[in-house]
Structures are given as structure tokens and as C-alpha cells.
């Protein structure tokens, strides 16, 4: 069960309750009941979760495509990402920056999306993406990812 522990801003819909009301105490994200959530990450205005099945759910603000839905409208309830790039893929870890998201799949692929003003998506340009886009990682095996405000760090090891 996913429970939001902190205050959620009235102007941002990152709590996943289906409204923009303030939440001042822990609140269950009831639309995710029955789905085993394995990991969660929060950005400045958005939240992303991974289920035990490796599915990605996103909700909150989406001004820069940080939810990965292919659009720019906010989502007040968790939305399953149905991107062709994540089809038949099991996501195992994730991180949210202020306005971007990064995930690592079970088979060692890295996908990023959202705000890219400083090249933080690792795609070789500064174009924002509103769908998961694969990052070219050669000669290493991704182990963990961490997003900051303007950057993303990938922990990787050399293959044996």
C-alpha cells in the first residue's frame, strides 16, 4: 500500500488522491490498492511508482513531460504508463529529478523523460521528452540511478 506521508501542495496534484485538496496527514493512495508497489520516487511536482510486475505508474504535475504519458496535462490519479518503449519491459529501479524521471529495466536498459534543459536525460541534446526514451549505455551494466535538479547520475559496472 502506498501512503503519502507529507504535506501535498494545493497547486500541485502529486498526492494521487484525484483532487487538488491539501493533504496534511498520511493518506493511502486508494487507486493503487491491490497493486503491490515496490518502489516510489518523488520529484518537485510529480511522483512515480514501480509495481512488483515492473509496471510504472505516474501522477502529479507534468509541465515538462515528467510523467512520461506523451502529453503535458497533470494527472490527479496514478496512471499506468503505456509507452511503446516500456512494453514488455520490467522496470526495477527509478529516480525522479525536479522535473524529469529515469528508470532502469531488469535487462539493463535505461530510459529517461521530462525536462532536459541541461542535458540531464543523457540523450545528447537539450530537447524535453514526454515519453520514455532509451539512453544509449555501452560497455557497462547499469546498477542504480539518481536524479538531481539539473543532472542524472548512473551507477554502472563493467561487464565481466
Beta-strand pair 56-60/75-80:
antiparallel
Identify the pLDDT of residue 150.
93
Confidence bin at 8 (pLDDT 50/70/90): very low
**Which three cell numbers, joined as nine digits, stand for 25?**
496527514
- Cα gap 71→64, rounded to integer Å: 9
Identify the pLDDT of residue 30.
85
For 32-74, how does the pLDDT look when each residue is reduced to its tens digit (9 = 90+)?
Answer: 989 999 999 999 999 999 999 999 999 999 999 999 999 999 9
For 95-142, how does the pLDDT look when each residue is reduced to its tens digit (9 = 90+)?
Answer: 999 999 999 999 999 999 999 999 999 999 999 999 999 999 988 999
Alpha carbon of 85 to those of 21, 64, 137, 159: distances in Å?
33, 18, 16, 24
Indicate if the pLDDT at residue 1 is higher than 80. no
Secondary structure string (H, E, C) spanning 107-125? CCCEEEEECCCCCCCCCCC
143: helix, strand or coil? strand
Indicate if the pLDDT at residue 5 is higher than 70. no
Residue 111, φ and ψ in degrees, nearest 5: -125, 140
C-alpha of 100 from chain center: 7
Assign domain 3-157 to its CATH architecture: 7 Propeller (2.130)
Identify the pLDDT of residue 17.
60
Identify the pLDDT of residue 28.
77
Confidence bin at 93 (pLDDT 50/70/90): very high
Residue written as grid cell 511508482: 49
58, HSE (Cβ side, Cα atoms, 13 Å): 32
The angle at the Cα of 18, spanning 15 to 19, to the nearest 5 degrees, equals 80
Amino acid at each position: 500500500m502506498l501512503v503519502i506521508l507529507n504535506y501535498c501542495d494545493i497547486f500541485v496534484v502529486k498526492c494521487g488522491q484525484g483532487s487538488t485538496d491539501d493533504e496534511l496527514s498520511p493518506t493511502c493512495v486508494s487507486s493503487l490498492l491491490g497493486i503491490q508497489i515496490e518502489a516510489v520516487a518523488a520529484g518537485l511536482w510529480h511522483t512515480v511508482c514501480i509495481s512488483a510486475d515492473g509496471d510504472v505508474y505516474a501522477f502529479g504535475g507534468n509541465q515538462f513531460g515528467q510523467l512520461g504519458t506523451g502529453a503535458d496535462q497533470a494527472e490527479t490519479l496514478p496512471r499506468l504508463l503505456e509507452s511503446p518503449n516500456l512494453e514488455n519491459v520490467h522496470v526495477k529501479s527509478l529516480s525522479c529529478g525536479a522535473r524529469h524521471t529515469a528508470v532502469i529495466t531488469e535487462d539493463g536498459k535505461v530510459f529517461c523523460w521530462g525536462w532536459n534543459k541541461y542535458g540531464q536525460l543523457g540523450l545528447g541534446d537539450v530537447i524535453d521528452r514526454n515519453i520514455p526514451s532509451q539512453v544509449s549505455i555501452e560497455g557497462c551494466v547499469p546498477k542504480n540511478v539518481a536524479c538531481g535538479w539539473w543532472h542524472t547520475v548512473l551507477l554502472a559496472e563493467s561487464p565481466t
